[in-house]
Structure 1
Amino acid sequence: MVSTGIEAPSAADERVAEAIELLRGARVAVLTGAGVSTDSGIPDYRGEGAPVRTPMTVQTFLASERARKRYWAGSHLGWRSFGSAVPNRGHLALAELEARGIVDGVITQNVDGLHRRAGNQHVIELHGSMDRVLCITCGQHYARQSIAERLEALNPEIDLETAIRPAPDGDVVVDDVDAMVIPSCTVCGGILKPDVVFFGEFVPADTFQAAASLVRGADVLLVAGSSLVVNSGMRLIEQARRKRLPIVVVNRGITKGDSRAAVKIDAGTSETLTAFAAALDS
């Protein structure tokens, strides 16, 4: 057999080309998950190889002050990572596609705020955002950084840099959780929680309806970096299926939506979304 010296396109390349043809000239709604943010240094706690974690439920959070102290300790540790993370090539590609009128908006299951920081203007945060804190009693909102500063000021005897450490299972080790003092609402004294959807809570109805409306108004649904394990994502997949929209899935490993996808690309989101943006520029 004589070699031509020209490599045949890989199956992945062919699927990327198929996806680009579906996206070309279309109005695109985007649904993103944790896989979009891994290249920004934020772990994916659901994908392949992720540690098994016991999540904090809203019932436990509300019922136990000790549980709230432990949660805020771990959340403070996580916030340091979130606060220093910057948008990666995938986030920037989606912001560019929105600016060019190709992407109508981004629906995200992430709580890191990186789509907004990348420049996306129409972002629907299904599960809220870690950069906001609210009082569950009176509804007062706070910037997360201000609560982080209060947490440190309330615990001057505790070196939070060393007293709170990540554990191998994705949990945290706190040297003396009972000694911690956690902030309360400065307006009513109520319980503060990050403005995110905990396990045991539902996505707010108006938030989900905004996401569903974005999908219904699109020609294509692009899913990036989500295994679609969370029910809210699959409900949007079902919205797209009912409208007979082509679905493009970009994710490392299997997802619950693979059987419904017109194109499934088993690859990283940063390089794939960047390839989409480059190809759709022409």
Structure 2
Amino acid sequence: MTLSTEAAPDAALLRVEALEVVYGGAVRALVGADLTVREGEVVALVGANGAGKTTLLRALSNLLPAMRGQVSAGRVTYAGLDVARTRTDVLVRSGLVGVLEGRHCFGGLSVEENLIAGGLGRGSSRADLRTDLDRVYALFPRLAAKRGNPAGLLSGGEQQMAAIGRALMGRPRLLILDEPSMGLAPKVVEDIYRILVGLNRDQGLTLLVAEQNVRLALRHAHRAVVLENGRSVLSGRAAELRERDDVKASYLGAAQAPRTAELSPA
């Protein structure tokens, strides 16, 4: 299933402006990243391994200090909040919820306990937890069948479903996903993207998805931003980027036609 490339022209929910990030005071990971996500959009953040995608997502959730990273220039705002000055738990309760690369389930807890943890992070009531559990199980029937099993014994695809389900328990306004397709079978990836696309289409959930699989990301997004060496080098409608010769040559494995211009700035 593929999204329409038309998104509602709402004001920016998330804005990243000229962001620079360093680790350990010396290693520069971002050198000028720009990104805008509007309410109701699906935006893909794409680029090769090491381009800076994960660092950018960490900055959006104010997780850099835990990794000895810091914003050295630029600004990130979410729903009017200055992210660098807002605690991560406050961001979560404000609707900015992330699914980290590698799934990161609590292996010793059951599937249902993992999901409940996501609701508790939001401060959900007992009634809200039950409502949201039913909703997640309806989206992911495989989790319902294994609700009492330790999450550490699930397959990779099921762990990814559990991680996404835990995030959905927080009732996100903006759901951020870091490489959700990594290491998963194509059928599982299609199932996960079908569910995410459905949540965007039917419930207006805003999505920012970082993907190394550029073909997959551009097929499902309204817009995309390309990162290279820590810098935003290209942005635009996903459908238009799919047709660019330079994007095809660099990211989609197509033979490159003669170039008449460099990548336009993001």
TM-score when normalising by structure 2: 0.31
Q: In terms of Rg, which structure is larger?
A: 1
